[in-house]
Structure 1
Amino acid sequence: MNRRITLADIAKRAGYHPTTISMALRNHPRLPQATTKKIQELAKEMGYQPDPALGALVAYRRNASPKQQAAPLAYVTKWDTEWGWKKTNTHLSFYEGAVSRARELGYKIDHFWLGQPGVSHQRTNEILLNRGIRGLIIASHMPGSDEEPALDWSKFSSVKIDFVPTRLHVHTISNDQRAIVQLAFKKALKAGYRRIGFVLPHWYDSYVNNAWSAGFLTSQLQVPEEDRIPLKFFHTSPGTNSGVPVTEFEQWRLKHRPEVIISYSEFVKSAFEMLQIQTPDDFAYIDICPETKDGSNAGVFNNCTRVGELAVEILAGQLQQNQIGLPQYPTVTKVEGTWIEGESLPKRELATSAANH
Structure 2
Amino acid sequence: MNRPRVTLAAIATQAGVHVTTVSLALRNSPRLPAATRERIRKLADELGYAPDPMLQALVAYRGNTAARRSPPTLAYVTNWNTRMGWREVTAHPDFYAGAETRARELGYHLEHFWMREPGLTHGRLSRILHTRGINGVIIASHVREIDVALQFDWTRFAAVKIDYFPHEPQLPLVTNDQLQIIRLAMQKVLAAGYRRIGFVIDEGWDITVDHLWRAGYLWEQQALAPADRLAPYLIPNREPLADWLRRTKPDAVIGKAEFVTATFKELGLRIPKDLAFVDIFLDDLSGKTAGVVQNHNEVGRLAVELLAGQLQQNKYGVPAIATTTYVEGTWRDGHSLPPRPGAASTPALGE
Bucket of the pairwise TM-score, normalised by the shorter protein: over 0.9
Alignment partners' CA distance in 1, 2:139 and 2:261: 31
Alignment partners' CA distance in 1, 2:71 and 2:269: 51
Alignment partners' CA distance in 2, 1:132 and 1:355: 52
Name the amino acid aligned to 1:234.
I
For residues 1-357 of structure 1, the aligned pairs below 5 Å read 1-63=2-64, 67-235=68-236, 248-349=240-341, 350-354=343-347, 357=351
Name the amino acid aligned to 1:344.
S
| Preserved contact between residue 178 and residue 212 of structure 1 (Cα < 8 Å) | yes
Q: What CA deviation, in whole Å up to 9, does each residue of 1:183-230 have, x standing for no partner?
A: 101111111111111111211111111111111011111111121111
Question: Per the alignment, do residues 39 and 200 of structure 1 end up closer, same or farther by CA in structure 2, a change over 3 Å counting?
Answer: same
Backbone CA RMSD of aligned residues: 1.7
| Preserved contact between residue 174 and residue 302 of structure 2 (Cα < 8 Å) | yes
Name the amino acid aligned to 1:140.
S
SS in 1 for 2:222: helix
Structure 1 residue 64 displacement after superposition: 5.2
Question: Per the alignment, do residues 108 and 277 of structure 1 end up closer, same or farther by CA in structure 2, a change over 3 Å counting?
Answer: farther
Q: What CA deviation, in whole Å up to 9, does each residue of 1:218-257 have, x standing for no partner?
A: 1111111121111222238xxxxxxxx8x61111111110
Name the amino acid aligned to 2:71.
A
Alignment partners' CA distance in 2, 1:90 and 1:66: 29
Q: What CA deviation, in whole Å up to 9, does each residue of 1:12-62 have, x standing for no partner?
A: 001111111001111112222221121111111222111112212223344
Q: Normalising to structure 2: TM-score of the pair?
A: 0.95
| Preserved contact between residue 162 and residue 208 of structure 1 (Cα < 8 Å) | yes
What number of residue pairs does the alignment pair up? 348
Q: What CA deviation, in whole Å up to 9, does each residue of 1:285-344 have, x standing for no partner?
A: 100011232222111001000000000000000000000100111100000000011121
Gaps of 5+ in 1: 237-244
Q: Normalising to structure 1: TM-score of the pair?
A: 0.93
SS in 1 for 2:91: helix
| Preserved contact between residue 89 and residue 291 of structure 1 (Cα < 8 Å) | no
| Preserved contact between residue 223 and residue 354 of structure 1 (Cα < 8 Å) | no
Instruction: State the 4+ residue runs in structure 1 displaced beyond 6 angstroms.
Output: none
Alignment partners' CA distance in 1, 2:175 and 2:296: 8
| Preserved contact between residue 194 and residue 352 of structure 1 (Cα < 8 Å) | no
